[in-house]
């Protein structure tokens, strides 16, 4: 496509709109994530000589097209909602305006980065809703799709309110708190469980979490108590439960710890948990202080993808739309207007140039201009800002949209100007707007 555009000098500005067509049934809202990564991708976008040689060899592109690809950089503008914002289907999350070949070539990467990270953040936030003020630890690295994605998943979870990650590389890159426990293999590598506990506590007296279920959980807790008593004065200490009936084991363990006077030793639970598992445990008053959440968050197991699309809405000043059955799109560069009181139920999707209605403000801000990020910040600061935004928006999620089972989806309305433009463009295509 890009070759064809270059050959035909179709390099006028094109605006694409990235949005979600429909929420998964188990989601009442989404947490936007991936914007910072998208901007960094766009800043470094380009083809190297190996890329050019490959397309030359396999696609037979002409020398002038190859030259155009060789020199290609992203030179456009990007508007987006802030990372961490609570958003929903049918409202643009990001709009990009650039010469058509550039805008087209970045499509798949943008969909990939935005879909994945928003998917994970939108799952992770449900764990945060279920966990209340308990700690949440990201354990997802072993289940994400590849190594780089493990870093991005940890970042998405942090935006949604996770307190720490077991992924040390992610902690380093995004200035997160790294917390780890020990593996069963650590326990097994010592002759006895208590030997492993003593060794770890001696080496890390200020942050030991005893994994107590390698052989028998109650015995494991007793070994942890023995070692914790030897360490008295150090801490914080915790035990970790990773199998069996976590609620019952937590009660037993809490009893044993309290009887030993170790009321400050915390209990971390893990093992196949998601928001529903956390809610169930807390509804039965399981004395659990922290949850490790891995697999089901790292792949968003119940809703592993979002129906995101990236659609051309204007080319060379001409608003365009698509009429495919069930996949209609609305024309023109857009804006989302959100109520100033933070109410998330009143979003209005309108045209970019129309003024905000009274009591509303624009949600999309210009984050890149002429191919450069407008206000680049460190990776750590970007996560902190997104996390703050998410926490603020969370206070405005209505009960029906925020419940964990069968949530109502947040919905949006269209401005009169946008509705009129859609009717006009559809009429020009000879199709009545429904």
Site for a copy of itself in 152-171 (CB under 8 A): 152-153, 167-169, 171
- Residues 46-75 binding a copy of itself (CB under 8 A) are 50-51, 54-55, 58
**Least distance from C-beta 3 to a copy of itself, angstroms?**
7
Q: What is the DSSP letter of 295?
A: H
Restricting to residues 301-330, name those near a copy of itself by CB under 8 A: 301, 304-305, 308, 311-312, 315, 320-327
Decide: is 178 part of the binding site for a copy of itself (CB under 8 A).
Answer: yes
Nearest to 296 by CA among 281, 269, 275: 275
Task: Tell me how far, at minimum, the Cβ of 336 lies from a copy of itself, in Å.
Answer: 21
If binding means CB under 8 A, how many residues of this protein chain bind a copy of itself? 85
Closest CA to 39 of 336, 433, 375, 354: 375
For residues 335 and 364, the answer to whether their CB atoms sit within 8 Å is: yes
CB of 354 to a copy of itself, least distance (A): 23
Is 40:148 a contact under the CB 8 Å cutoff?
A: no
Considering the complex, state which of residue 123 and residue 338 has its C-beta at the smaller distance from a copy of itself.
123
Please give the C-alpha separations between residue 408 and each of 23, 29, 89, 125, in angstroms, as whole numbers.
10, 8, 12, 16
For 8, other C-beta atoms within 10 Å of its C-beta total 9
Site string for a copy of itself, 361-390 (x = CB under 8 A): ------------------------------
Read off the DSSP letter of residue 234: B
Closest distance between a copy of itself and the C-beta of residue 307, in Å? 8
CB of 351 to a copy of itself, least distance (A): 18
What CA–CA distances, in Å, run from 135 to 163, 198, 261, 385?
6, 25, 23, 20
Q: How far is the CB of 78 from a copy of itself (least distance, A)?
A: 17
Among 264, 392, 416, 431, binds a copy of itself (CB under 8 A): 431
- Pick from 22, 108, 259, 283 the residue near a copy of itself by CB under 8 A: 108
Site for a copy of itself (CB under 8 A): which residue of 188, 283, 340, 388?
188
Considering only residues 232 through 271, tell me which ones interact with a copy of itself, judged by CB under 8 A.
242-244
3-state secondary structure of 346: helix
94 binds a copy of itself (CB under 8 A): no
> Using the rule CB under 8 A, which residue among 28, 76, 150, 247 binds a copy of itself?
150
- Residue 235, class by beta-carbon neighbours within 10 Å (0-12 exposed, 13-18 middle, 19+ buried)? middle
109 scored as a contact of a copy of itself (CB under 8 A):
yes
Q: Please select the residue that binds a copy of itself; options are 132, 146, 317, 432, rule is CB under 8 A.
A: 146
User: Looking only at residues 112 through 141 of this chain, which bind a copy of itself when binding is defined by CB under 8 A?
Assistant: 112-113, 115-116, 141
Tokens standing for 393?
A: 């928006």
Sequence-distant (6+) residues with CB within 8 A of 51 are 69
Q: Which residues contact 71 (CB under 8 A, 6 or more apart)?
A: none
Distance, in Å, from the CA atom of 376 to the CA atom of 391, rounded to the nearest integer, reads 22
User: Minimum Å distance from CB 344 to a copy of itself?
Assistant: 26
Among 14, 237, 238, 281, binds a copy of itself (CB under 8 A): 14
E runs forming strands in 66-207? 77-80, 86-87, 94-99, 135-138, 164-165
Query: Which is closer to a copy of itself, CB of 180 or CB of 346?
Result: 180
For residue 431, how many other CB atoms are within 10 A of its CB? 12
What is the rounded CA–CA span in Å between residue 418 and residue 434?
A: 14
Can you tell me which of 91, 102, 213, 274 binds a copy of itself, judged by CB under 8 A? 213
Stretches 71-79, 278-286, 297-305, 341-349: which one binds a copy of itself (CB under 8 A)? 297-305
């Amino acid at each position: 496509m890009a070759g064809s555009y270059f050959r035909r000098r179709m390099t006028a500005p094109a605006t694409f709109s990235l949005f979600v067509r429909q929420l998964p049934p188990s989601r009442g809202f989404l947490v936007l994530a991936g914007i910072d990564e998208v901007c960094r991708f766009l800043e470094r976008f380009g083809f190297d000589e190996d890329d050019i040689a490959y397309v030359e060899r396999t696609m037979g592109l002409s020398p002038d097209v190859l030259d155009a690809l060789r020199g290609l950089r992203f030179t456009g503008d990007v508007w987006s909602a802030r990372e961490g914002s609570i958003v929903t289907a049918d409202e643009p999350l990001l709009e990009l305006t650039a010469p058509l070949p550039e805008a087209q070539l970045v499509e798949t990467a943008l969909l990939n980065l935005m879909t994945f990270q928003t998917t994970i953040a939108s799952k992770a936030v449900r764990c945060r809703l279920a966990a209340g003020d308990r700690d949440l630890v990201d354990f997802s690295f072993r289940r994400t799709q590849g190594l780089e994605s493990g870093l991005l998943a940890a970042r998405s979870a942090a935006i949604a309110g996770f307190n720490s990650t077991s992924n040390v590389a992610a902690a380093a890159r995004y200035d997160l708190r790294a917390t780890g426990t020990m593996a069963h293999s650590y326990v097994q590598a010592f002759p006895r469980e208590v030997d492993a506990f003593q060794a770890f506590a001696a080496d890390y007296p200020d942050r030991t979490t005893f994994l107590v279920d390698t052989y028998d959980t109650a015995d494991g807790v007793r070994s942890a108590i023995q070692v914790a008593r030897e360490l008295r004065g150090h801490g914080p200490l915790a035990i970790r439960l990773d199998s069996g009936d976590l609620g019952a084991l937590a009660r037993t363990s809490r009893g044993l710890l309290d009887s030993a006077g170790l009321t400050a030793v915390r209990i971390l639970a893990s093992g196949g948990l998601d928001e529903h598992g956390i809610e169930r445990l807390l509804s039965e008053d399981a004395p659990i202080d922290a949850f490790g959440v891995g697999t089901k968050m790292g792949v968003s197991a119940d809703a592993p993808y979002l129906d995101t699309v990236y659609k051309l809405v204007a080319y060379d000043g001409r608003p365009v739309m698509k009429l495919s059955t069930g996949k209609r799109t609305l024309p023109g560069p857009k804006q989302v207007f959100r109520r100033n009181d933070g109410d998330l139920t009143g979003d209005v999707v309108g045209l970019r140039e129309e003024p905000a209605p009274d009591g509303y403000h624009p949600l999309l801000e210009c984050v890149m201009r002429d191919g450069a990020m407008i206000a680049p910040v460190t990776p750590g600061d970007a996560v902190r800002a997104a996390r703050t935004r998410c926490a603020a928006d969370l206070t405005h999620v209505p009960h029906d949209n925020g419940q964990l089972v069968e949530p109502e989806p947040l919905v949006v309305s269209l401005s009169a100007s946008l509705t009129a433009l859609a009717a006009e463009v559809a009429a020009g295509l000879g199709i009545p707007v429904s």
